[in-house]
Amino acid sequence: MDILLPGALSLLEINHLVAYTRKEMKSFVSLSTPRASIRRLQPEDKDKLIELLCDKSVTQNMAFPDEILTIEGVAGLFEMTINSYDTEKPLLSFAIAENNNNHLIGVTGFNPLENNEIEVFYALLPKYWGRGLATEILASLTEYIFTKTDYGAVVAPITQRNNASIQVAEKNGFSNYGLKEDSNYKDLILIFKKKKN
């Protein structure tokens, strides 16, 4: 699954989205999976984040506007995210790091929605694709949401051509709720959802 963020992320739109952040999500600091950790972005992650989000093979299924997917755009988003962590309205975007060296290998996070639902997103550097890491990350995020927050459903929007992400969602017990129009994407997207038991 690729990173899935709301589309044209102007500063005003980011602030509007963050206004939906629930109190329990503000306390998120880190999670561990068998092979990776999910943690706050750190200054030393900047170059790898730029590499990740300026790679067209990674960004082809993303909902970012083109102007964000530049060295300057990613650097600005990086600084804004780090500076937001300890504020009343943090951006809920985090690093995926290898357990053995703490180096950034991807990004992940949350986007609170209406109706007691929360969207998850993640992206990995291409050399980490096909290793089951995305499945591990989605499982960890979903477990955290269902055990540590009051959200009733986790949503994963996926572009129709992203077969790997579809498989990741299905392996994690997400159900396909069909196609949906979303102004952040050129084509209709698939909505995968998992509800709390």
Go through 134-167 and write b for each residue having 16 or more CB atoms within 10 A of its CB, e for each that does not: bbbbbbbbbebbbeebebebbbbbbbeebeebbe
pLDDT at 165: 93
pTM across the whole model = 0.84
Task: Spell out the CATH class of 11-152.
Answer: alpha beta
pLDDT at 159: 92
pLDDT at 30: 85
Residues in the chain predicted with pLDDT less than 70, given as ranges, are 1-27
pLDDT at 11: 41
pLDDT at 27: 60
